[in-house]
Amino acid sequence: MSSAPNGLELPRIQVVKAGTLRLEPFELPGPVTLRCKASLGVGGGSTVALVESDVRLLVDTGFDFEESNDAANQKQNAEKLTFALRLLGLSPEMVDAVFITHWHRDHFGNLNLFPQAKRLVSAPLWERLNREGFHPVKDGEEIAAGVKVVYTPGHTDHHASVLVTSRLAGLKTMIAVAGDAVVSYSYFAQGKVWQHNADFYNYHQALESEARLASLSDIIIPGHGVPFTAFRRPKS
C-alpha cells in the first residue's frame, strides 16, 4: 500500500461538513413542512467526507437548497465548503480527486470548486452523463490506497458508495461513506430508505444496498447527517 500524505499506514478520513435532512422517516413531504425547514435554515445538503490516502479524495461536495439557482445561494455554498476545508488546513486546489456517489445536486453542486481534481463516478453514471472530464469506476475498484468503490443501486440506478480501511482510536476500522444508500441514521434505524426523489430506482435494491454496507463496515457516514456505528438488523 502506498503511504498516505499524512504519514500513516492506513488512510485517514474526516467529515468536512455534516449534511442535513429535510424530511425524517415519519414526516410527509408536504409544502408546509419543507417551507418550515427551509425557514429554519435546513438546506438538505449532503455530508462531505475527506479521505487522505496516497491522494486526497473528497466524497461528494454537498450543496444546500439545491432547488435554488440564485447566485447568492451558489456563492454561500462555495464559501461554506471552502471554509470547512480551511479549518482542516486545506484549500480546494489541494484536493486531488472527487468521487460523486450519485447525480443529485445536493451531492455534486459544489463540484466546480475543484476544477483541477480528477472527477470519479460509477460506470453507469458515467455512461449517463456522457461528459468529458469524468472518469468511470467499476464495482470493487480501488480508487486510492485503502479506498474501494461499492455499487449500491436503489436510491438511483447509478448510485455507488465508498469503503475506506482506516484506523480510528488505534483500531483498524472499515468505514462506509454511503451517500444516499444510507441517507441518515433515522432511516437506517427504522429500516427505511429515502424514496422522495423523482428518479428513485428500486425499493428492494435500496434495502439490499443498505444491508450490504452494514455488513461490510464498522462505521457508516450517511448521505445526510453524522457517522454512526453499523449494526445488523435481524431478519423478519
The reported pLDDT for the residue numbered 131 is: 76
Contact 182, 229 (CB under 8 A): no
CA distance 212 to 190: 16
Q: Is the pLDDT score of 13 beyond 70?
A: yes
Task: List Cα–Cα distances, 50 to 38, 59, 117, in angstroms.
Answer: 27, 6, 13
For the beta carbon of residue 15, count every other beta carbon within 10 angstroms.
Answer: 16
The reported pLDDT for the residue numbered 3 is: 42
26-35, 38-47, 82-91, 210-219: least confident range: 26-35
CA distance 113 to 226: 23
Contact 53, 96 (CB under 8 A): no
- Identify residue 209 by its one-letter amino acid code: S
Beta strand pairing status for 12-17 and 48-52?
antiparallel
Q: How confident is the model at residue 9 (pLDDT cuts 50, 70, 90)?
A: confident
φ/ψ (deg, to 5) at 172: -65, 125
Task: List Cα–Cα distances, 18 to 54, 134, 135, in angstroms.
Answer: 24, 25, 26
CATH classification of 12-229, choosing from 3.40.630.30, 3.40.190.10, 3.60.15.10, 3.40.50.300?
A: 3.60.15.10
DSSP annotation string for 120-179 = EEEHHHHHHH--TTEEEE-TT-EEETTEEEEE--SSSTT-EEEEEEEEETTEEEEEEEEE
Q: How confident is the model at residue 232 (pLDDT cuts 50, 70, 90)?
A: low
The reported pLDDT for the residue numbered 8 is: 53
Q: Where are the beta strands (DSSP E) in the chain?
A: 12-17, 48-52, 56-59, 97-99, 118-122, 134-137, 142-144, 147-151, 160-168, 171-179, 219-222, 228-229
pLDDT tens digits, residue range 104-151? 999 999 999 999 999 999 999 999 997 789 999 999 999 999 999 999
Chain-wide mean pLDDT for the chain?
93
In this structure, what DSSP letter does residue 44 have?
A: -
Q: What percent of the chain has pLDDT over 90?
A: 89
